[in-house]
Structure 1
Amino acid sequence: MISEDYVSKEAIANSSWKGPLSKGHYKAIFSTIALALSLAIATNQNLYSFSGFSSEESVPENNEVIASTVAEPNEEIPLAQAFGITSNKSKEQFENYDDTLNEADLADSDDLLDKEVSALASKTDKADAETFGAKWVTENVQKGDSISSLFEDLNIPASTLANIIETNKPVSKKINSLKIGEKLSFLVDSKGELIVFIKPISDKEQLRFYKVDNTGKFACTTEKLNSYVMDDDAVNAAKALAEAPSAKTDTKVVASAEKQAVPSVAAEQKEKKEVPAGNKRGRLVVVTINKGETFSTAANHAGITYTEINRILQMFKGKIQFSRNIQAGDTMRVLFTDANGKGKICAVEFQLAKGGKIASYLNAADGKYYDEKGLNATHSSFSRFPFRSRVRVTSQFNPSRKHPVTGIRRPHNGVDFGLPVGTMVTAPADGIVDKATFSRSAGYWLTIRHSGGLSTVYMHLSKINVRPGQRIKQGTVIARSGNTGLSTGPHLHYEIRVNGRAVNPLRINLDNRNYNINSKARKAFAASVQRYKKELHQSNLIAKR
């Protein structure tokens, strides 16, 4: 039989045949393999150091941080530097370009309810429409900052800054002049648009820029440092002014006894609130959710206006998920400062089958609302990082980032931390789990709503330990880091959002989330809380039907 394999036949016939390659070829191959192995070992060592799998020997101590034990940084140096967090610019090829989700996926589960109540509120009280979602955010000027980088950290469009400078050219130099340690304040509405911007210009004065109409123009006023009252009334007036037609922008500045007030709209328009026909309310209003009723419908039938309902919804963000936690039989008690349900809301208490008692009380000292935890808070109620381990930043916050290949703008709305798979991820603050699910790009991911208009997002997790609608405490283990979804390596993608708009997690000032007051003010608030608790259950304060 003649073989069809000519080479094999020849090899069998010739016993001296040793193979198709010479000894020189074999030497070259083995040398190449040895070199490749050496390079692979060196490359892996650097890669693990970069991604967070660092050991004591491979990464210097000054490039690492234990997030749970580090103290608050000096305002005069960059936050990342103060915490010992570093990133290697030369390794941008390791960035994740697919760790984004649609804004619709990240929207608050109560978003539809918010919009419905806001629309109803606008029909009865136009001056207060859509004002309660606006929040104050502050930024401390650090080394290397520019005015444009500060706006970028808060994800405020560059066009807004250009608008402010263009319409206020005489003070443009003062806008661009920054001093380390200065504190800049921004009032951002629920749509992410800037309403008020405050910048110090000396030890005694500040510039306040405020949106004057619906054209987007900003006016400027010079005033005493810290003279602007940053409370709910300031939000209402500033928002109303911004939404006014341009022909009605000649507003007056009203001076108070101690501080300069906001540009004012008509007083009678601010105070006028419609109560449903046939409902005469007392200083205390009790709402019971009946079967088949929604929260907003039940509250309005009991005598609470939609504007007040809107305020309550925002007051309990991060504490109650109204689309999940409210059910038939639950009750709400609303206490006002004055008789006949007039004045401000001074206390609200919910009694829920899913969640128990949840309350919020007015602090007369600053016009804001706190729960009882505020009485004993001595440190930040919002931790800087959601983990307790050594970390390295593998990708920075960059809302203007472009894909290196396609050139398409692909914002990086968070910070990527290199963490080994299985690292514990903890809640940075009290909150309520809004979503916990899986997507092709983000892998296992979840969002948590916190008070103060804040929310946090976590992506590429290996395990989720919580469920939607669950209330959690600061420090609770909510997940384990991983490498799921479209990920280039084990890491945690972490976002902080204000009113749903991403901000730089390494830069946002969390100090304004503290409740640090002197002992005298704290005693006054504690006394008020005890009084409110009693009055919330005094039947004689309820209007007689």
Structure 2
Amino acid sequence: MAVAVLTGIVAIAAGLAPGGSVEANRETSPAPDSTEQAVERILATTAESPSPDRESSTATAVEPPPAAEPAPEMVADVVAGPEWKDETVRSGDNLSLIFKRAGFDNGDVHEVVYESPEGKGLARIYPGQTISFLEAPNGKLAGVKYVASPLETVTYLRGEDGKFSTERIVREPEVRESWTSGEITSSLYMAGQDMGLSQVKILELANIFGGVIDFVLDPRKGDTIHVVYEELYLDGEKYRDGDIIAASFTNQGETFTAYRYEDSVGDVSYYNADGVSMRKAFLMAPVDFTRISSNFNMKRLHPIYKTTRPHRGTDYAAPTGTPVYAAGDGRVIKAGYSRPNGNYVFIQHGDRYVTKYLHLHKRMAKQGQRVAQSDVIGTVGSTGAATGPHLHYEFLMDGVHRNPRTIHKQLPKAKTLPKSEMPSFLEAITPASQQLAALQSGNHLALNQASGEAPQR
């Protein structure tokens, strides 16, 4: 019976506990209690002086003996217990449906979303997220808890004035440094998987080196990769990957190195050891991890028309639907369909350069649209005069077709950090540079000692 009394008291506490946004109340009132603090405070008060209303309304609501005072762990169990009713956001759900499943109506939705601080954030929900509801003893909605992500929880609590306040809790993950090395046997993708890198990290690695390496043609068996990166942990378990701190790729005997650096104005990018940006004016290839079916050849025999026609570009064979990227920043000057080209997109880059993308399955850019490097402008297909799914890619400089594989040597130089920035840059990358050197030499012991961490891979 004491447990029943305690549960009722806690329900009242949770329903009446004042809460609010720390930011909103900073000037007018002290910081409000958290949900758990409010429950603990009211529980302690009730244990000394039980509510007269509770005594008069039920014969069993008597003052509990001192030994019945709840332990802290009991309070925590009650707060996280059955009072909060969890609802998982389903595909096609809206707030009205979710509130209805929990036993509440559109009036409650309006109160929380439009009358509470930051309430409109609750409208941005996605399948798989959790929304929890707290019901007061009188059946009214006392609180809503929205788990936006493992790192962020927002709680809306009804106060004594009947209005909802907001409490936002943002957790900071633990950052751990990790590193790995690998060797190309067939492709960057397979090597990355063997190294334990996620697909996202493999694609990020390709983006970093995309201005100096064509990952379709350039990699060779025996090429080596070294990566120093962050991993984020929550409660001792890996939550997700963090940033790549530094990486090196040795391709056919030539080593390319990249370091992550935030400059004095807050811009983050990757640079080589000399402070030259890894981001070039154009990508070496507008698709990733595919194979070339036909190289640049001015006397190529056309596979359909069986005549010798100039092949003023490079064909990247890939499955239908493979994303096609804008090779550089620019404006779409043409996007349409023709019988020989199929679906196509032409992009103007400044005054001198044009890139063309033919035989697309889908166009995802419109004429006049501005695009940035690596934006998806379409997908690989076999429209027009094509024998199979592939991207035909052309590069024109001053109106003349150039070999996309070699033109990069004639393109403008990449951005370089100013001399005033170099001392800070060199100081910032020194630890990562030492780690890469240890990885490249195979001296993992030195790497572990330098970082003060246990061996990784």
State which structure, 1 or 2, has the greater radius of gyration over its C-alpha atoms: 2
Q: TM-score, normalised by structure 1?
A: 0.28
More strand by proportion, 1 or 2? 2
Q: TM-score, normalised by structure 2?
A: 0.33
